[in-house]
Chains A and B, each alone.
Chain A
Amino acid sequence: MTIHFTLNGKETELNVPPNKKLSHILRDDCGLRGVHPGCGKGQCGGCLVLDGKNPVYSCLIPAFMANGKNITTIEGFVQTPLFGIIERGFKRAGVILCDFCAPARVLSLGAIILQGRNPDTAEILDQIDIVKCPCIGPESLETGIQIALEEHYARERR
């Protein structure tokens, strides 16, 4: 089937099997290798992308449902100023992520900022949980997110 959607700000048209998962479309048909599907079942969060301002698991979205969406992957997000803010936050908090889940982490945090939220610790922890990482605790990530949020809102006030 032919699907039309916005991908990283560009109108995109593709011919793909209707059940092909968005995660695979992004990787195979669009060459976006920053999408890292793992479980294929909405459990790990490796395939996270933004649908508008919302984080979604692209492995759960078949092609026919991707039609008409506004999708941002890490490749698109990197072009926005928010990326730098998050990078600095993570850096200052000493966040050490594996290469595999790092982009999904950035996007899930980016979603908080895009949505204009100023979450408390519990909400931040919930957001961290969107990307299931079995190898580190949430401490440094939480600090990283706090730093990024502070910088973002300080800039906004200016």
Chain B
Amino acid sequence: MNEKRFREKLAGRIRFPEDVSSKKTLFARALRSPYPSGTIEKIELPPLPEDAFIMDYHTLPGSKTFQLPLGEMPLLTESRISYRGEPILLVGASREEELNEILAGISLTIIPEPELPPLSLDQRENVQYERHFLRGEAEKILEKEDLIQDEDFFVIESQEPSTRLSAQVSCQKEGNRYIIHSVNQWPSQLRKNAASALKIRRDQIILRNYPHDNNQESRLWYTSLTACHAALLCQLSKRPVRFLIDEEENRLLTPARGKTEIYIKGALSSEGDLLALKVDFALDVGAFGLMTQEIIDRMTLACTGVYQCRNLEITGSGIRTNRMPTGFFSDLNQAPILFAVESFTNNLIRLGGFEPYEWKIENRIRKGNLFLGESTLAKPTPLLKIMENLTTSSDFQRKHTSYQNLQDQRLSLSENRESFHRGIAMSLAYSGNDFLYNHTDLTTAAVRGVLDKEGYLQLYLPIQPGIDRTKKRWAQMAASLLSLEGPDRVSFFFDQEKMNGGPLSAGRSITHITRLIELCCENIQKKRFRDPLPIDVTKRYSRQESRWDKDKMDGVPFHSLSWGGCVVEVEIDQESYELKMRNIWFVLEAGLILDEPSSRVTVERGLYLALENSLGKDWQKRYKFPSYQVDFISTGNTPQGLGGLVQSLFPPALACAINQASERKGYTLPLEEGLLTEDDRQ
């Protein structure tokens, strides 16, 4: 980050959507449903001041739905309530107090109705989407093989941290254009929806995007919906609108993941081969089931794991409920699956009497193996290197053997003389970058490069990276590819209008843009010797459908993969049953790290979320933030998303380390309290 911006930020001089105001500002809010399910019977409005404005479903001027590539929901509900907090009316007034009075004076009659049944694996009602994947003969093998185990896992609902910044939105009209001030990671989607809601052209919607915070990645559509609301009232009132969001609404507009239930059955041969796995899972996808196919298919792919296994049978379903519409969690929803699959595999190999490190080295997936559905892995994986690095830094093998011996002694002596027990465990995972579904709104990105007569390069990008150092690296890269005098010959322009890009989620953006800049420069370089300057080149990314057959789950689903491993070492005090996380080690391979400090922050934030998911919301009251180490190993020269690797890696490693120290298995996330107390679970 450049010095000036850093100072401005610390000095509180950065402006936000909520700072946009004038004397004519209309304060606005949505009236939301207090019930998760029901039908609106009557809405009675109090006498309204002259300068107040109301909009409901029937007075929406244009489209009544908010569209996403995989699903839609109403902009305002007509009469059916699908989740608590669903917007019913938009209200605007000249003063905040007046607005609150109007809202308090509205009498809303809703006939509450029973909610849709809660998630369970056996409940087949309200299935939004189901994916069945079969490879080999899992069922047959699971009837007869040597070591067969089955276990149920539960991951309860969790939510990303909510910061207020991301929910703020204001809108003003300038000429015939609407200027929306917001923090948004998917401008093309916002503009498309706002334009159709207001029944105007898309180029009449301009987004002033504010620098996003650390939590923006998962807010796929949340801010766009509020932005449409603000723009609608701005159009109606012909006044600038500041849309107010209180703390509860802010929470509502923060991505949350529904509950997941996972059942796994697996067979291990006496030689230690993982012969077959059967995984059934169900995820609560909330109201309207937005993005369900993408999420369930990704989770299905995650079930196939990082170990060789020929026979697989996976059934995944997304179940609609009256929870708020789901988003795209920053771990890309892999964490619940990886928690279950890694924990299960660790338990299985332990029962089979195999040493985990050696087993993982032997059985890790490699080039040429079946991977992700029916495809074979075309490139070598960095898993071996990751494991070697991890074991060197954490002394994993020695510690694991010695803790295992101690545990075996404890079990055979059934007497406990130590004052604390220790455990250590390792987990491995990958994360696919980019979206699985090849919808142009999700996957496009474009970069334009213009090399002028004076030897200066202008790059037009669809997004503005949060970190200046990323830009610096891009400038260096472009300068060296074109042999320019220096990186200061490269300047950047952010043009969301022309360089329409997809969302940031799924670790796609920086990866794609880096690659597109590279392609632009290579192309300019080629033309340079033929064509006169200026040379103007635009490169677009859109994935070729043919590489991934989503019905058969065959081919290359992801643009690139990131890999990682984690070791967690714990100690449990035998008197207080207090858990201490002695140390945590991560080794991550996410291609070229453009900016190490910010990658570290991404890891730290991932760990923060992982701790919350593993130990419960109030973990900070009981535990200190543990010390951890991160090692980035970079093999490629393109950056790849760190995605939610950390969130996926940490929980199973923690659960299995606790298992070694306490002889108790964790089957739920957050890990159940009973795991560490005296009352016996098993």
Bound: A41/B164 CA distance, A: 13
- Chain A contact residues, majority secondary structure: loop
* Cβ-defined contact, A137 with B247, below 8 A: no
Contacting A at CB under 8 A, from B140-192, are 161-165
Nearest Cβ distance between residue B214 and chain A, in whole angstroms?
4
Instruction: State A100–B165 Cα separation when bound (angstroms).
Output: 6
In the complex, what distance in Å separates the CA atom of A43 from the CA atom of B161?
Answer: 14
The segment from A6-14, A62-70, A85-93 that touches chain B is A85-93
Contact of A33 with B19 in the complex, beta carbons under 8 Å: yes
The answer to whether B247 touches A90, judged by C-beta atoms less than 8 angstroms apart, is no
Interface contact B600-A44, CB-CB below 8 Å: no
Closest Cβ–Cβ distance, residue A58 to chain B (whole Å): 13
- Measured between alpha carbons, how far is A140 from B214 in the docked complex, in Å? 15
Are A38 and B9 touching (Cβ within 8 A)? no
**In the assembled complex, A119 has its CB within 8 A of some CB on chain B:** no
- Decide: B214 and A99 in contact? CB cutoff 8 A: no
Known: A96-B598, A134-B163, A136-B604. A39 touches B247 (CB 8 A): yes
B6 contacts A91, CB within 8 Å? yes
The reply to whether the CB of B106 lies closer than 8 angstroms to some CB of chain A is no
- Point out the residues of chain B lying under 8 angstroms from A55, CB to CB: none
B625 and A138 form a contact (CB under 8 A): yes
Least CB distance from B614 to A in Å reads 14
Contact present for B9 and A102 (CB under 8 Å) = yes
Nearest residue, chain B, Cβ from A139 = B604
Interface centre among A38, A91, A99, A136 (most CB of B within 10 A): A99
Are B10 and A102 neighbours in the complex by a CB distance under 8 Å?
A: yes
Would B211 and A99 count as touching, CB distance under 8 A?
A: yes
Question: With a CB–CB cut-off of 8 A, which chain B residues contact A138?
Answer: 625
CA distance A139 to B15 in the complex (A): 27
Contacts A87-B10, A100-B165, A135-B213 given: A140-B601 contact, CB under 8 Å?
A: yes
Contact pattern, B 598-631, Cβ under 8 Å of A = 1, otherwise 0: 1011001101100000000000000011000000
Task: Considering the complex, give the chain A residue whose CB is closest to the CB of B627.
Answer: A139
Please give, as numbers and ranges, the residues of chain B lying within 8 Å of A44 by CB-CB distance: 164
The contact of B214 among A73, A75, A135, by CB within 8 Å, is A135
What residue in chain A is nearest B21 (Cβ atoms)?
A28
1/0 per residue A100-142: CB within 8 Å of B?
1111011000000000000000000100000001111111100
Category for how many chain A residues contact B: 35 or more
Please, which residues of chain A bring their CB within 8 A of the CB of B165? 98-100
Give the residues in chain A near B162, CB-CB below 8 Å.
Answer: 134
A83 within 8 A of B: yes
* CB 8 Å contact bits of B202-216 with A (1 = contact, 0 = none): 000000001101110
Do residues A139 and B625 form an inter-chain contact, with CB atoms below 8 A?
Answer: yes
Residues in A neighbouring B58, C-beta threshold 8 A: none
Q: How large is the interface on B (under 10, 10 to 19, 20 to 34, 35 or more residues)?
A: 35 or more
B604-A90 in contact (CB<8A): no
State A41–B401 Cα separation when bound (angstroms).
51
Binary contact track A26-52/B, C-beta < 8 Å → 1, others 0 = 000000011110111101101000000
* B625–A137 CB distance below 8 A: yes
- B1-44: CB near A (< 8 Å → 1, else 0) gives 10100110111111110010000000000000000000000000
B603 CB to nearest A CB, Å: 9
Across the interface, do B12 and A135 meet the contact criterion of CB distance under 8 Å? no
With beta carbons under 8 angstroms apart, the residue of B6, B14, B605 that contacts A137 is B605
The residue in chain B whose Cβ has the minimal distance to the Cβ of A20 is B97
Q: Which of A38, A83, A100 lies in contact with B11, CB distance below 8 A?
A: A83
- Whether A34 touches B12, Cβ cut-off 8 Å, given contacts A44-B164, A46-B164, A135-B163, is yes
A41 to chain B, nearest CB (A): 7
- CB proximity of A150 to chain B, nearest CB, Å: 18
| B12–A90 touching, CB < 8 Å | no
Taken together as a complex, chains A and B put the C-alpha atoms of A86 and B7 apart, in Å, by: 10
A38 and B247: CB pair below 8 A?
Answer: yes
Report B575 CB to chain A, min CB distance, Å: 23
Known: A38-B247, A74-B11, A137-B625. A100 touches B163 (CB 8 A): yes
A41 to B215, CA, bound (A): 22
Instruction: For A139, list chain B residues within 8 Å (CB).
Output: 604, 625
* A136 and B247 contact, Cβ closer than 8 Å, known pairs A33-B15, A44-B164, A99-B9: no
CB-CB under 8 A for A34 and B597, given A135-B161, A135-B163, A140-B604: no
Beta-carbon contact of B213 and A41 below 8 Å? no
Q: Which residues of B contact A103 (CB under 8 A)?
A: 9-12
Contacts of B16 in A (CB 8 A): 36, 99-100
Measured between alpha carbons, how far is A43 from B162 in the docked complex, in Å?
12
Which chain A residues border B214 with CB–CB below 8 Å? 96, 98, 135-136
A18 at the interface (CB under 8 A from B): no
Residue pair A135, B164 in contact (C-beta under 8 Å): no
Q: Are B215 and A135 in contact (CB under 8 A)?
A: yes
Contact A74 B247 (CB under 8 A): no
Q: Which residues of A contact B9 (CB under 8 A)?
A: 97, 99, 102-103
A35 and B6 CA atoms in complex are apart in Å by 17
Q: Is A78's beta carbon under 8 Å from chain B? A: yes
Residue of A nearest to B168 (CB): A100
Residues of B within 8 A of A87 (CB): 6-7, 10
Q: Which of B1, B7, B12, B598 has the most CB of A within 10 A?
A: B12
Closest approach, in angstroms, between the C-beta of B395 and any C-beta of chain A? Answer: 22
Please pick, from B10, B215, B250, the residue contacting A106 in the complex, using a CB distance under 8 A: B10
A91 contacts which chain B residues (CB < 8 A)?
3, 6
CA distance A94 to B459 in the complex (A): 28
Q: Is the CB of B15 within 8 A of A86?
A: no
Tell me the complex Cα distance, A35–B215, Å.
21
CB-nearest residue of chain A to B625: A137
Once A87-B7, A98-B163, A134-B162 are accepted as A-B contacts, the answer to whether A36 and B607 lie under 8 Å apart by CB is no
- In the complex, residue of chain B having the shortest beta-carbon distance to the beta carbon of A75: B12
Q: How far is the CA of A98 from the CA of B241 in the complex (A)?
A: 25
Determine the residue in chain B with the shortest Cβ distance to A104: B12
In the complex, residue of chain A having the shortest beta-carbon distance to the beta carbon of B246: A40
Among A38, A73, A137, residue most surrounded by chain B Cβ atoms (within 10 Å) = A137
Q: Contacts A44-B164, A98-B163, A100-B213; is A137 near B13 (CB within 8 Å)?
A: no
Q: Which residues of B contact A97 (CB under 8 A)?
A: 9-10
Q: With A98-B213, A137-B608 as given contacts, are A34 and B163 in contact (CB-CB < 8 Å)?
A: no
Tell me which residues across on chain B come within 8 A of A101, comparing CB atoms: 163
Choose from A86, A99, A137 the contact partner of B213 (Cβ within 8 Å). Answer: A99
**CB proximity of A105 to chain B, nearest CB, Å:** 8
14 A-B pairs (CB sep. < 8 Å): A36-B12, A39-B164, A43-B247, A87-B10, A90-B6, A99-B14, A99-B165, A99-B210, A103-B10, A106-B10, A134-B162, A134-B163, A136-B214, A137-B605
Interface on B for A, CB 8 Å cutoff?
1, 3, 6-7, 9-16, 19, 161-165, 210-211, 213-215, 246-247, 250, 467, 597-598, 600-601, 604-605, 607-608, 624-625
Q: 19 additional contacts, CB 8 Å, given A91-B3, A101-B163, A137-B604?
A: A38-B250, A43-B247, A75-B11, A75-B12, A78-B11, A90-B10, A91-B6, A98-B163, A98-B165, A99-B165, A99-B210, A100-B164, A105-B10, A125-B624, A134-B163, A134-B215, A134-B608, A135-B215, A136-B601
Q: Nearest 5 A-B pairs (CB), nearest first?
A: A34-B12, A134-B161, A103-B12, A98-B213, A74-B12
